[in-house]
Amino acid sequence: MRLTLLGTGDARQVPVYGCQCQGCQAAYADPRLRRRPCSALVELGDQRWLIDSGLPDLTERFPPRSFSGILQTHYHADHAQGLLHLRWGQGLVIQVHGPADPEGLSDLYKHPGILDFSQPFAAFETRSLGELQVTALPLLHSKPTLGYLLEGGGRRVAYLTDTVGLPEDTSAYLQKQPLDVLVLDCSLPPQPQAPRNHNDLNLALTIIEELKPERGVLTHVGHTLDAWLIEHGDELPGHVLVARDGMEI
Ligand SMILES: [Zn+2]
Ligand SMILES: [Zn+2]
Ligand SMILES: [Zn+2]
């Protein structure tokens, strides 16, 4: 199984338009440090699924029929805005499997174009997509949101963003078997107060300790965390990595 992190930024991306902090300045100076909307591509056998669709240039990156469909975590703009372009294609249908969300994003349900939203995931439902098994895991966020457990090729990988902490039943489900890799929301540096809606580093490390993956990968990284990491990056535990756009797992 190959998981490619296409984007690893939070809703504001890095650099933040107009910001002069150390994290943003570094990203202006070195394009490899930029962070685009949080999204990924999982590949196994003949299956090739996008996880989220927030990249604005999906139609250029992915020619028609070059991917199997989309696993949507939720319908916040930074995760779904690419659908607004993709829908006006023709001659194909793209399955979008995500949470049951009565609102979705903008007018996507009213004018879905070539997008098919008709098969939302139920909580803890597992679907077999060729050799790839995908299980939908409820997360804690301001919109109905699912993380995905990806199994196949002898690997077990969890992709969990956006979330603040984890619901107990999701945590219990993931602890049933060891994880090879946990890709996890970590938007903020350590906060003095408990964070709302997204993990800060303290909470992300607590979750990693609880789920004990072989490797933890922090994604959905905001510019304040990037600035913090410039000074404190070497304080992370050895099995915890900070994601980069283009990283392959
Ligand atoms: Zn987000
Ligand atoms: Zn900044
Ligand atoms: Zn969100």
Task: State how many domains the chain has.
Answer: 1
Q: Which ligand is nearest to the CA of 223?
A: 2
- Categorize the per-residue pLDDT at 40 as very low, low, confident or very high, splitting at 50, 70 and 90: very high
What does the alpha-carbon distance between residue 248 and residue 91 come to, in Å, rounded to a whole number?
A: 31
28 within a domain of the structure (yes/no): yes
What does the alpha-carbon distance between residue 228 and residue 226 come to, in Å, rounded to a whole number?
A: 5
248 within a domain of the structure (yes/no): no
Alpha carbon of 73 to ligand 3 centroid (Å) = 9
Q: Domain holding 147: CATH number? A: 3.60.15.10
The pTM assigned to this predicted structure is 0.97
147 within a domain of the structure (yes/no): yes
Kindly report, residue by residue over 130-164, the tens digit of the pLDDT: 999 999 999 999 999 999 999 999 999 999 999 99
Amino acid symbol at 230: I
206 within a domain of the structure (yes/no): yes
Q: Which ligand is nearest to the CA of 105?
A: 3
Alpha carbon of 10 to ligand 3 centroid (Å) = 9
249 within a domain of the structure (yes/no): no
Please, what is the angle between helix 223-232 and helix 22-29, to 10°?
A: 90
Alpha carbon of 193 to ligand 3 centroid (Å) = 20
Alpha carbon of 146 to ligand 1 centroid (Å) = 12
Q: Which ligand is nearest to the CA of 222?
A: 2
Q: Which domain holds residue 233?
A: 2-242
